[in-house]
Amino acid sequence: MPEFKYKAKTRSGKDVVGVITANTRKDALDRLSSQRLYPISVEDAHKNDVDVGKWFKSKPPASAVAAFLTQLGELLENGVPVLTAFQALGKQTPNAALREVVVDVGDQIADGQSVDEAFAAHAKVFDDLTLSVIKAGSEGAFLESALKRTAKFMEDQAEIRARITGAMIYPTVLCVVGITVVTVLLVAFVPKFEPMFESLVESGNELPIATVWLLAFRDFCGKYGLYILGGFAAIIVWLRFQLATKSGRRFLDAWKLKLPIIGPVAQGAAVSKLCRVLGTLLQNGVPILRALEISSRSTGNALLQDAVEKSVEAVSAGEPLSKPLQECKLIPPQAMTMISIAEEANTLEKVLLNLADSLENQLSKKIDVMVRLLEPLMLLMLAGAVFYIILALLMPVFQLTDAV
């Protein structure tokens, strides 16, 4: 059972300090009152203890969080009291890490915390979008629908990520298989032909140029392979450091958008996510300035983030939202026209969500095209590499046969 440190006063005004055992902070306050003590402060006795185990706890998956928010919204919508809903979900939540969070949020609400403050204590589990929607929903008395809309948004985003991941599985497998096959051929098969190559050279014949290049490549990989791997590792570390800085993210995102196949996909993903996040926040009653701040951090593209941050200043100064967004030239002209009209008609959240649906459909088609191009391209590269190695090994054999 939890322990709470307390500082209280007796009726005579004497200070009393101690530790009391209770289920919740509210129970601890009630027990102190029953002992005719007047609490000054009551805190968790182990609040400042270092919990080494939390370093090894995994973050609950987005699907589990979305399922919890959906169930909570349905319970509240059907008239179940908040504390009862958290007690029920605290027992039924299958994910252990999320179950601890649900129980703790319920305990904080039982101690008198507001719903949004209790959720905000777990910012690592619930992102800014979820916390802002919950705050707006609790203040505007539409928490049930806000929870269900947020859960729907999280499910849609998880579905898009799963679709992209699933589409990239086959090209990734082809890449791994190709590297493995080429490595096995260079390490296991090429050395078996080297005595024949040496005898051919000793007899006064020259090796075909394809064979010379193959042997040179094998020797180069043998001598400098570790350095090459180290160079790739250094590049990855450098990229991670660059992504940690805003200037580095801006440079890499600008370079990524210029790529022939990946660029349109990355741009579509960033714009659709901006429309989805901003529309969801506005639909749930979040003020537009706060919604823009959250949306700017959710785009996944530094250039679009800069444009949204400029729009915050523009809207604060009374200017339209569409002006700074149009200047960044990342949002399609047709979408910008719809956003401009929606601002004037005061239907921005509805139009943004419709735009998000349309852009996500286009993004899905672009991903399909990208995968369809990658698969034959990688197959051709794999077949070409294997054919070249086999040809380079067999050409000296044909040359030796002709000489005989």
DSSP 70-90: HHHHHHHHTT--HHHHHHHHH
The per-residue pLDDT for 58 is 64
Half-sphere exposure of 209 (CA within 13 A, CB side): 0
- DSSP letters spanning 261-283: THHHHHHHHHHHHHHHHHHHHHH
Q: What are phi and psi of 9, to 5 degrees?
A: -120, 145
Return d(Cα 102, Cα 205) in angstroms, integer. Answer: 78
pTM for this prediction: 0.65
pLDDT at residue 234 in the model: 92
**How do the pLDDT tens digits run along the chain, 404 residues long?**
567 788 888 877 788 888 877 766 777 777 878 877 777 777 776 655 444 444 445 678 888 888 888 888 888 888 888 888 888 888 888 888 888 888 888 888 887 778 888 888 888 888 777 887 788 777 777 788 878 878 887 887 787 778 777 777 888 888 888 888 888 888 888 888 888 888 777 777 788 888 889 888 888 888 888 888 899 899 888 888 877 777 888 888 888 888 877 788 888 888 888 888 888 888 878 888 888 888 887 777 888 888 888 888 888 887 777 777 777 788 888 888 888 888 888 888 888 888 888 888 888 888 777 778 888 888 888 889 889 888 888 888 777 666 55
The pLDDT of residue 95: 83
Q: Which pLDDT score is estimated for 347?
A: 85
Find out whether 129 and 280 touch, Cβ atoms under 8 Å: yes
Q: Could you give the CA distance from residue 81 to residue 75 in angstroms, rounded to a whole number?
A: 8
**Number of Cβ atoms within 10 Å of the Cβ of 383:** 11
SS3 42: strand
What was the pLDDT predicted at 329? 80
pLDDT on residue 45:
66
Name the maximum alpha-carbon separation found in the chain: 117
pLDDT at 152: 83
Could you tell me the strand order of the sheet in which 38-44 lies?
15-21, 3-9, 38-44
Cα(266)–Cα(249) distance, integer angstroms: 14
- How distant is the alpha carbon of residue 284 from its chain centre? 23
The predicted pLDDT at position 22 comes to 74
